[in-house]
Amino acid sequence: MIERKITLEASDVDEALIEASKQLKIPVEELHAEIISEEEEKRGGFLGLFGGRKAEKRLTVEVSCVARNDLLSRGTDFVNDVLRLMDFKAECAAAENNTLNIEGEDAADYVVGRYGDAIRGMEYLVNLALRDPKSEPRLKVDSCGYRERRTKSLERLAEATARQAVKFGRPIRLDPMASWERWVIHSTLKDHGDVTTESIGEPPMRKVVVMPKYDPDTVRTPGPATMRVRAQREMTERNERERRSNSPSSSRRRFRR
């Protein structure tokens, strides 16, 4: 991570921290001050003894960011470093639910990217660089309300796909998605009465399959959802054959023979 520090002169450490906070745009509590040198200035008076003001201390202080260990803070610094190196007019700040939120002039066009590809790449990079998968939760990256808009879009997609699966009586595979996007599809349809969902494939090509449910009153087939769909299709085809064989036109053909 790029080190962020500043060296300045002040009368005391508190003054140095306040001034550094203004220049670095970092809260005072996240800064650390180290005194490099100290000297006294004597002002006026006869021979420096009478009639003059009290000697003042002038400190040369180096102020830098406090080394923080929590993942959200490290993620914020990491993303801000990346944005600065790419010369983007945007800034990252920590938000709720382990989310890093990016706002700014370039956020909507460059940070989100086409179909959210850029922001997914940023999220992958942050977690790959900083996160310990054994002990730390996954960081999420958002920008200009993208995740909320994407969530609503995925909910509409889930409902539309469920209607298509029921209408045509066959499984429908969606495009590959990130884990949180697949979770939205599963959550939207988990209480749906006519379809079920499951994920197939390996990341980054892992995708959701939306499948029509079988009728538990007429078909009782054990096994995964794909077997149940096959059983439903076979039952439908069998019923259709029986209906055709019992139709009046079929009886007339047999009588003529």
What is the full DSSP assignment across 176-198? P--HHHHHHHHHHHTT-SSEEEE
What gap in Å lies between CA 111 and CA 88, rounded to an integer?
A: 9
Helices (H), 6-116: 13-24, 71-85
pLDDT in tens for each of the 257 residues of the chain? Answer: 445 678 888 877 777 878 887 887 777 666 777 888 887 765 555 454 445 555 566 778 787 775 455 788 899 999 999 999 999 999 999 988 889 999 999 888 889 888 888 999 999 999 999 988 776 788 999 999 999 999 999 999 999 999 999 998 889 999 999 888 999 999 999 999 899 999 998 888 999 999 998 655 554 444 445 555 666 667 777 778 888 877 665 555 554 55
Name the DSSP letter for residue 111: I
* Entry pTM: 0.57
What gap in Å lies between CA 199 and CA 206, rounded to an integer?
A: 7
What gap in Å lies between CA 28 and CA 8, rounded to an integer?
A: 15
Q: Which uninterrupted H or E stretch holds 43?
A: strand 31-43
Torsion of CA 96, 129, 201, 97, to 10 degrees: -10
Torsion of CA 106, 111, 116, 118, to 10 degrees: 140
Domains recognised in the chain with CATH numbers: 8-65 (no CATH), 71-144 (3.30.300.20), 148-244 (3.30.1370.50)
- Sort 221 into a burial class: Cβ within 10 Å, 0-12 / 13-18 / 19+: middle
CB neighbour list of residue 150: distance below 8 Å, 6 or more residues apart: 116, 181
Nearest to 116 by CA among 163, 62, 74, 178: 178
What gap in Å lies between CA 137 and CA 130, rounded to an integer?
A: 11
Q: In this predicted structure, what is the pLDDT of residue 224?
A: 46
Q: In this predicted structure, what is the pLDDT of residue 125?
A: 94
What are the beta bridge partners of residue 93?
A: 101
Q: What is the rounded end-to-end Cα distance, in angstroms, of the chain? A: 89
What gap in Å lies between CA 25 and CA 15, rounded to an integer?
A: 15
Name the DSSP letter for residue 46: B
